[in-house]
Chain A
């Protein structure tokens, strides 16, 4: 392949989204909007028990009800190995011998109408024998705690990417550790030691579109229309579950109504495919919001952390132990735990670091990916300790970071990618944007935060670019369009390479039957990795055109060149682009790049009510090169509001393992009226990314940065907090404690 051409005309421009009109006019189709002839509707019977042994499931009455095609229970899974899970194969398609959380699918009904399926659910008799409930991390980690996966050895899934997985220890399914330097010796001689215990709650991603799946068997092949971010990984898990070749499982993903990690990996696909197999007809399952909340969430976290420094404000060591509550099934818990472990030290020059991060089963709903996982959990804790060091040393927090932050090329963690961003520059920009150093009224505070997120996941992506006889171009790449603007950005990249106007290039929806392989759409990887594959595929087409032309082709001649090549008004040129790991692509060798999580906030707290008003936020999108600056800003703005929700009020409440706020009435997400007074996104383009045109991914960092900036701003206003979210009640109580302590 020749050197990649870098003419810049479409890339770097805020071109309008290619899907705007379709979406504004209500024409964009989502899985829930689709139906097939003779399609049945599926409904899931979910366990009310939190932890129980299944004695019997009697569906005979339900099967005789009007419109009912079939009822799927654990007994129907006898012919296959029914356990799945991309990191650990711990989850049955429907509960078989045990239910491990309230909300776990125990059976599913396929019927002609939704109402008939609902009615049949109520006729299924489930006999259970209650088991002791392990509702919290403390209970799960207590000596002699009941084991939620008792009797089942840990079976690694296809895509954990974390090397050799150790056997399960009690309820701990994965441990991540970092040891560098002589931790105890450094702490013993430190002038300043900050330490504390911290709590981060379980939260819900709330993609507005809930999980929806249509499964349709035709002979020995199955087609699945699914709300999934990673269709190729879902395909592999379905093929594995149903013992089929990959080539006989087809996943189609139309537009996704948001993802944010909630549609990462396999969710409602196996149960829908199993139900359709038994029914012998297409089946559609659409979750309601409460069901989707029980399908995936963000891990709750408890952590202990201490940080050592000199009295002059030089950071020396950090010691972290934390537990991630992964719920009843691992889902992406191990990866979340490893990423959190990597985020725990923060991007500083340490003499010693110790991290112990555990992924722990409890009898609650399973936790998986949510935007900036791991980093969001740990950054606010670490950054609040950095600010506390600054306070105790009498050093300005930005100055303290100036002295201690890693610089490009320095080691972030042993064996991994060195730092690839100018963190101090980023901190200074966001600090300036919230008026750092300016005068403040009482009960007003400002805070900054900076961290790193291991981004990119496993670096395998491929793309096909097809030039048609009329010179128009189709881009096929596995990235799913979930709102981030992939179809616009991928089209921009191909248009740029080929020197075509954007309207001559179309990226199509992902269909694993036709679209080349891409690992996933998450971990801020698509523009960087899939984008690079698209760039290479477009270059491949350009190289072919160059050969036909016998020199550098002019885009105005493309049609003539196609005619020259094929001798008539047909034929096409197919370009292929691939990204594969240089080494093994393992988590330990990574990441593909370090995503910068940098933000600042200004808050005003009302001491009478504990209400925190966010007056300013700023985030830094350190993207190497912005392919579409407007879409970069939207990523940061959306992540800012989610960070504000995660920081200020979002919290899933469990009572003895039962989710009690499972509607949008009780689980509140940010509205227009929760917007910060001022919201700034600073785009930094140092062309230091591994992606096309020097780009690297974005969109997650701001979500990790904002809760941390809010906590630091609130501490600056006089109210240091160690538990999220920063609800008025919690903040007010803290203010009273501080008053009493005076």
Chain B
């Protein structure tokens, strides 16, 4: 099937299989490997990308569902300037360890930030980010980085 969509601001037209996942399309088809594969069942958030500004699990989204829509991956976000504040906060709090969950985490936080919906309280942050797992950090540093970001 032919689809056309915008990926990181660029028009893309491609042939995809009906069952092809957005994650495979991005990683294998376009070489955008920032979105990671881990749980395959929309639990861990490592494959998070933004679809029309909303975080989605690319492992459980068909490439077909993205037709005519706007996809932003970590590569697209990193190419712009809006990541600077988040990057600074996450770096200073050492809220990055192995880095496998990091792109998904960053996109989730950035989407909330851009929408003006990033909670500033601890309970709200935990709830908002509970769809992104991290096995390294123990989460505390991420909560601290996000709280600081929300207060800016």
Contacts and interface: CB of A to CB of B under 8 A. Distances in A.
Nearest to B142: A672
Interface stretch (A20-28, A44-52, A396-404, A551-559): A20-28
B106 interface: yes
Interface stretch (A172-180, A204-212, A445-453, A690-698): A204-212
Contacts of A25: 34, 74-75, 78, 83, 87
Contacts of B142: 672
Contacts of B33: 26, 29, 32-33
B136 interface: yes
A586 interface: no
A285 B33 CA distance: 16
A664 B140 CA distance: 22
Interface in B99-120: 99-103, 106
Contacts of A210: 37-38
Contact of B98 (A21, A32, A482, A675): A482
Contact of A289 (B38, B100, B129): B38
B62 to A, nearest CB: 15
Contacts of A17: 91, 94, 96
A727 interface: no
Interface residues of B, number: 50
Contacts of B139: 637, 641, 670, 672, 675
A256 B98 contact: yes
Given A24-B87, A289-B39, A209 B130 contact: no
A25 B90 CA distance: 11
A315 interface: no
A24 B145 CA distance: 13
Interface of A: 14, 16-17, 19-30, 32-33, 206-210, 255-258, 260, 286, 288-289, 482-485, 630-631, 633-634, 636-642, 663-665, 669-673, 675, 679
Interface string B132-152: 111111111111000000000
Contacts of B96: 17, 19-20, 23-24
A24 B90 contact: yes
A675 B130 contact: no
Contact of B133 (A30, A208, A209, A482): A208
11 contacts: A17-B96, A25-B34, A29-B33, A208-B98, A257-B99, A258-B136, A482-B98, A638-B97, A663-B43, A669-B133, A673-B126
A640 B138 contact: yes
Contacts of B43: 663-665
A232 B7 CA distance: 41
Contacts of B125: 672
Contacts of A255: 98-99
B19 to A, nearest CB: 9
B36 A209 contact: yes
Contacts of B98: 23, 207-209, 255-258, 482-483
Nearest to A15: B94
B92 interface: yes
Interface string B57-92: 000000000000000011100100001001100111
Contact of A20 (B91, B126, B130): B91
Contacts of B103: 24, 26
Nearest to B32: A26
Contact of A485 (B37, B87, B91, B97): B97
B36 A208 contact: yes
Given A26-B75, A208-B133, A485-B97, A637 B140 contact: yes
A25 to B, nearest CB: 4
A613 B41 CA distance: 27
A634 B86 CA distance: 19
Given A26-B73, A631-B94, A673-B127, 18 more contacts: A16-B92, A17-B96, A21-B91, A23-B98, A25-B78, A26-B35, A29-B33, A207-B98, A208-B46, A208-B100, A209-B100, A258-B135, A482-B98, A483-B136, A637-B140, A640-B138, A663-B40, A675-B143
A639 B139 CA distance: 11
A672 B39 contact: no
B44 interface: yes
Nearest to A22: B99
Interface string B36-56: 111111011010000000000
A494 B41 CA distance: 43
Nearest to A642: B135
A27 B78 contact: yes
B137 A637 contact: yes
A679 B140 contact: yes
A641 B39 contact: no
B136 A634 contact: yes
